[in-house]
């Protein structure tokens, strides 16, 4: 008999073929004889072919050799040493019995050793926490990846099943092959996919980039994924989807979601740069996207010994939730409105002094009326020299105001010309400050012009009518007729204030109004925090166990 390999442990099994065992194949005989030791038939066949089986003292290299009653048999079971050193590092065990372990695999952890990687894998940790994987009870297992029946990519988190003995491994491998195992993932993908979809496209090596996989017309292996849209972030930036896979090809979900135009967030391999430009507008988001946002969420399988169904659900990790919350941030667009003389401009100035980007409709319109600007050009084109006597001079605002007071339809005509320009100016303001958490715009006719959709929150500034009218008379020189005309162009004060989300009362002094501005900033921050909590509650409800 040949000596065992120096890198192997050896034990010799002996037996005599009984009368009722006559005609049995050699490999079948030893399979039955070693069944209680969990040795795979393929491993026994390998030992036989390597000359480690003897019949009546002579080596036999044929696993299918039929035995005769009375044959004396020997089998030298060669179990290669793995050479793997157990590593005492953290392992998140969710379920454990004599046959099976269910783990929560973290990101940045390779499942098993490979060429050039002989330490720091999940298998090294398993060997420390479950030494039986390297012991006699693990006979027949692949010693480079003991217990591994399926795997997750290095940066994929979530549920992973590990067999603690060879019969369990064979049973689980059979269940995976027969598609009796439920595998459902959570993924964050760019854009907003359809409500649901099926991707049935073969996957193979990329034709030119050999380190990547791709949907291939020829040479690929069948791959089937079914996704369901769960939630979409503001502005359709990205979505949370669940993906159920029947097959288990390398990078399957990453490749399939890219194939349908919705690659995973944080995936440098399969996500083109054209999808990621919006990420630069969200402070801190790129720093969080250190891996493809993929998580093994649900795992259902029959128990290898009892065949009873086991089901596990693991909510997404913190980094995935942080990406959802940070990636959902939008600029809180606050509109200030109120009656003439209520102090809107003063409140806006106080908010600007506290660091909020600020925009004023009155100032925007004044800029539009500057010579050569769009508003000025419209006035010249539609009214000739009626309001611009000098072809290159400024707008005669007094003549314009008098005409608006005298001719109601002219006011409506002018609003139809100027308001779209002012609104475009506002849109540019929001875009310029899209990285800020909050920005404010003062618009006297915000409600009357139908602009509420441009704002997330409308703040009305209330003021004692007698006080604000007295101020307009003394500081702006308005008479009673002008006061009446200007107020008639707006909603009644009571209706205007009722339509606002928040109401700030002007207490009458600059210091007190400045304090109101500080309080408003605090309220705005609290509302943003509530928005974050609502998103978190929504996601938590979506991914919780049923």
**Domain layout of the chain by residue ranges:** 8-80, 84-178, 180-315, 332-533
Q: How confident is the model at residue 9 (pLDDT cuts 50, 70, 90)?
A: very low
Catalytic-residue membership of 108: no
Give SS3 for 461.
strand
Same fold, 84-178 and 180-315: yes
- Please state, in angstroms and rounded to a whole number, the distance separating the CA atoms of residues 249 and 431: 42
Angstrom distance (rounded) from CA 22 to CA 142:
32
Here the tokens at position 115 are 């060429």
- For residue range 105-124, list pLDDT tens digits in order: 999 999 998 766 788 999 99
User: What pLDDT was estimated at residue 49?
Assistant: 87
Nearest in space to 91 (alpha carbons), one of 166, 147, 171: 147
Question: Maximum distance among all alpha carbons in the chain?
Answer: 126
**Topology adopted by domain 180-315:** Pseudouridine synthase (3.30.2350)
The whole-chain average pLDDT of the chain stands at 91
Contact between residue 48 and residue 73 where contact means Cβ atoms under 8 Å apart: no
- pLDDT-based confidence at residue 1 (cuts at 50, 70, 90): very low
DSSP assignment, residue 275? G
- Region class of 284: left (phi > 0), else alpha (psi between -120 and 50), else beta: left
| H or E segment and range at residue 285 | helix 285-288
In degrees and rounded to multiples of 5, residue 372 shows phi and psi of 90, -15
Q: Does domain 8-80 have CATH number 3.10.290.10?
A: yes
Q: Residue 203: is it exposed, middle or buried by C-beta count within 10 angstroms (0-12/13-18/19+)?
A: buried
Q: Give the per-residue pLDDT at 32.
A: 77
Closest CA to 542 of 275, 320, 235: 320
pLDDT above 90 covers what percent of the chain? 79
Contact 372, 426 (CB under 8 A): no
Alpha carbon distance 219, 537 (integer Å)? 45
User: Between 529 and 2, whose confidence is greater?
Assistant: 529
Strands 438-442 and 332-337: parallel
Quick: pLDDT tens for 74-114: 988 655 455 788 999 999 999 999 999 999 999 999 999 87
Answer whether residue 38 shows pLDDT above 60.
Answer: no
What 3-state class would DSSP assign to 312?
strand
3.40.1170.10, 3.30.2350.10, 1.10.357.10, 3.40.250.10: CATH of 84-178: 3.30.2350.10
How far apart, in Å, are the Cα atoms of 492 and each of 448, 456, 496? 11, 23, 6
Helix (H, G, I), strand (E, B) or coil at 47: helix
Residue 377, H or E segment? helix 374-383
Q: In this structure, are residues 299 and 188 in contact, taking their beta carbons and an 8 Å threshold?
A: no
Distances (CA, A) of 123 to 127, 134, 165: 6, 11, 14
Q: What angle do CA 275, 277, 281 make, to 5 degrees?
A: 140
Active-site residue (options: 71, 153, 267, 456): 153
CATH topology of domain 332-533: Rossmann fold (3.40.50)
């Amino acid at each position: 008999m040949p000596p065992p390999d120096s890198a192997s442990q050896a034990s010799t099994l002996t037996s005599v073929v009984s009368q009722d065992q006559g005609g049995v194949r050699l490999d079948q005989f030893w399979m039955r004889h070693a069944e209680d030791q969990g040795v795979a038939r393929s491993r026994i066949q390998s030992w036989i072919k390597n000359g480690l089986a003897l019949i009546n003292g002579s080596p036999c290299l044929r696993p299918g050799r039929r035995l005769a009653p009375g044959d004396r048999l020997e089998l030298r079971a060669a179990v290669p040493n793995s050479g793997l050193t157990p590593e005492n590092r953290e392992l998140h065990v969710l379920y454990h019995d004599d046959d099976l372990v269910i783990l929560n695999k973290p990101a940045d952890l390779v499942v098993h050793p490979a060429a050039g990687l002989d330490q720091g894998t999940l298998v090294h940790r398993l060997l420390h926490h479950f030494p039986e994987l390297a012991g006699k009870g693990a006979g027949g297992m692949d010693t480079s990846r003991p217990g591994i029946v399926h795997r997750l990519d290095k940066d994929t988190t979530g549920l992973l099943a590990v067999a603690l003995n060879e019969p369990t491994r064979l049973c689980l491998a059979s269940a995976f092959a027969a598609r009796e195992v439920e595998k459902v993932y959570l993924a964050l993908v760019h854009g907003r996919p359809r409500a649901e979809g099926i991707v049935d496209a073969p996957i193979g090596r990329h034709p030119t980039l050999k380190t990547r996989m791709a949907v291939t017309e020829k040479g690929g292996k069948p791959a089937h994924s079914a996704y369901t849209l769960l939630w979409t972030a503001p502005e359709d930036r990205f979505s949370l989807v669940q993906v159920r896979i029947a097959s288990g090809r390398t990078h399957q979900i990453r490749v399939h979601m890219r194939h349908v135009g919705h690659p995973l967030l944080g995936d440098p391999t399969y996500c083109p740069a054209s999808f990621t430009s919006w990420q630069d507008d969200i402070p801190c988001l790129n720093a969080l996207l250190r891996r493809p946002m993929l998580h093994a969420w649900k795992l259902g399988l029959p128990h290898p010994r009892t065949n009873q169904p086991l089901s596990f659900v693991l909510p997404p990790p913190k980094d995935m939730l942080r990406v959802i919350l940070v990636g959902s941030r939008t600029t809180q667009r606050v509109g200030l409105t109120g009656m003439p003389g209520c102090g809107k401009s003063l409140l806006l100035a106080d908010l600007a002094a506290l660091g909020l980007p600020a925009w004023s409709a009155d100032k925007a319109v004044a800029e539009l009326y500057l010579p050569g600007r769009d508003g000025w050009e419209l006035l010249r084109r539609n009214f000739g020299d009626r309001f611009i006597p000098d072809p290159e001079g400024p707008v005669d605002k007094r003549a314009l105001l008098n005409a608006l007071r005298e001719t109601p339809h002219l006011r409506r005509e002018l609003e139809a010309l100027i308001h779209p320009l002012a609104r475009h100016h506002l849109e540019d303001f929001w875009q310029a400050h899209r990285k800020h958490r909050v920005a404010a715009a003062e618009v006297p006719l915000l409600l009357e012009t139908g602009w509420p959709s441009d704002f997330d929150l409308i703040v009305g500034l209330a003021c004692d009518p007698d006080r604000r009218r007295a101020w307009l008379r003394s500081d702006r020189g308005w008479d009673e007729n002008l006061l009446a005309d200007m107020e008639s162009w707006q909603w009644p004060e009571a209706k205007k204030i009722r339509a606002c989300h928040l109401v700030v009362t002007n207490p009458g002094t600059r210091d007190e109004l400045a304090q109101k501005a500080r309080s408003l900033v605090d309220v705005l921050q609290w509302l943003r925090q509530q928005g974050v909590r609502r998103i978190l509650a929504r996601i938590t409800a979506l991914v919780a166990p049923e």
